[in-house]
A and B are shown apart, each in its own frame.
Chain A
């Protein structure tokens, strides 16, 4: 019997027991749908991470105070260590030629007031290169100047969220906002960046000269971190190594265990996040595969029932000349048809679920052709694997006993 004939027969057998076939397929449908949805979520997350790397700038290197240290060792987080100073930053910029732009950084929270509106946001300090280093663009107004930094002028740039909250009806540029009750002149508004890597609002902050933030707002004499750019993306790694080496020399730290600072590149951080995303995805995928496995067992079960029910039919077919291979093919085709139809339904359901996730939760999903092909191949494989035993059983029946079976 030809392959087309065989599958035509198989599809007919499936249609004969509609409810049973549908229930049998359900396992495969759910399995394939979850595989599709998981892959879509995973690819979506990865695409977002890539986009965020671009938005931060790929050549960025962070030097933070505090250390992630070794296991089992108490350590303070960034900010609780007071040993990172502006002199460190200047030394690095002076002595490592592959460093491009840089800016010191410090962060605190502050209550902002403008007219009747007030808003609690974070205030960040930087120098005039902050925008260039961190990939920010000015939407309105202008950046503060090197002179502003030098004399600790009370000027600020507003993130988009802060701008619309404090000045809902007017142009913020030129207005005065009170920061911790000190009047700051708004010189510009930043273009929105949207959600950050951890889902936070990146536009909810105020930027002011670091000198102003350090002395007038926070009252400290250290800085929290320094952001550098390497001159090219190839120089990121060597620059990070050079910064670490110089910092160890300056802080008399013999090795990573004793470091009171940490150096991270954006690429490293992105790699960590990709790693986390794929671990999570792998976990979900294995759950999805388990349901595919259960679906396969369901197919095997129902095929065994079917072989027993149709023993007489098998006997008749053998009597009129069906060979072992013909019977094997027939039942294998039925199992494969069950799992393939289930797989196709599962692919459609998976796409539907992915779309639903995007619209209801706003999570990014990305459905790839390869994931559909993988799901399709997987369901065919499930059919062959779990259909083999029942089909073998049918093909090895004794024709006389099968004919006599009641």
Chain B
């Protein structure tokens, strides 16, 4: 295999909390190939959120190097990281992080406003709408988040993460606030994106059964990688979904 999409070497991150220095990451090295479906598992306080923030370019490591798509990004300043987040990374959060009182369509369009391409509104609407249709809620494009269920909100968030055609989707506990059926639905979408479009998915979770939708699982504890192994019996969300009894449409 050629150059991995993500390569981090001896990543360390510490915070000063008053007089105490907290070591959130104590030296993490990882390679993630392009097109992988990768899961990071760990309890809260294990350092997985810190790892995700650094990989998502929201934070900078105290030391160590981070190459994204062959480019050393560990020294990038705020604005260059923002630009890279916009172009290469899509975020899906546990709490959906949609703008309130803003329609699903406009939420999906949000990253387009910052991509510097100066697209016309009609162009943006078309792109956003096609993504909402792809995640199955095209008919709710003009609904605001409080008119949508949790599963629907997460679909909007996934559509938003894809709108700038990123190479990497970072999903931070994407099913944490969802019931089990909706969780399977969301994982089905992520697996489909990974399979059909070759988008690299990085899943952060504390649930081992959710991690089994990935092809490879890394366990983090106390700021270090504990285990790093391929998933032997990978779950297929599409198959599970077909096996579930049909329910009446979501509200």
Contacts and interface: CB of A to CB of B under 8 A. Distances in A.
B79 A324 contact: yes
A321 B101 contact: no
B170 to A, nearest CB: 10
A312 B58 contact: no
Given A5-B113, A320-B110, A400 B91 contact: no
Interface string B81-99: 0110111000101000111
Interface in A391-405: 399-400, 403
Contacts of B7: none
Interface string A95-109: 000000000000000
A321 B78 contact: no
Contacts of B93: 403
Contact of B91 (A5, A320, A323): A320
A317 B110 contact: yes
Nearest to B78: A324
A92 B53 CA distance: 97
B82 A316 contact: no
B76 interface: no
A87 interface: no
Contacts of B115: 321
Interface in B102-156: 110-111, 113-115, 118
B97 A312 contact: yes
Given A315-B97, A316-B99, A323 B58 contact: no
Given A317-B110, A399-B58, A322 B99 contact: no
B59 interface: yes
B110 A316 contact: yes
B97 A322 contact: no
Interface in A306-331: 312-313, 315-326
A249 interface: no
Contacts of A403: 58, 93, 97
A16 B101 contact: yes
A320 B93 CA distance: 12
A1 B113 contact: yes
B216 interface: no
Interface residues of A, number: 21
B48 interface: no
A320 B114 contact: yes
B99 A323 contact: no
Contacts of A321: 82-83, 85-87, 111, 114-115, 164
B58 A326 contact: no
A181 B58 CA distance: 102
Nearest to A322: B114
A328 to B, nearest CB: 11
A71 interface: no
A2 B118 contact: yes
Interface in B43-90: 53, 56, 58-59, 78-79, 82-83, 85-87
A320 B58 contact: no
B97 A323 contact: no
B206 interface: no
B4 to A, nearest CB: 23
Contacts of B85: 319-321
Contacts of A323: 78-79, 82-83, 114
B7 to A, nearest CB: 23
Q: Lowest 4 CB-CB distances: which A-B pairs, in order?
A: A321-B86, A321-B114, A320-B111, A323-B79
11 contacts: A313-B100, A316-B97, A316-B99, A321-B83, A321-B85, A321-B86, A324-B78, A324-B79, A326-B114, A399-B58, A403-B58
Interface of A: 1-2, 5, 16, 312-313, 315-326, 399-400, 403
Given A316-B99, A320-B86, A320-B111, 12 more contacts: A1-B114, A313-B99, A316-B110, A319-B91, A321-B82, A321-B83, A321-B114, A321-B164, A322-B113, A324-B79, A400-B53, A400-B58
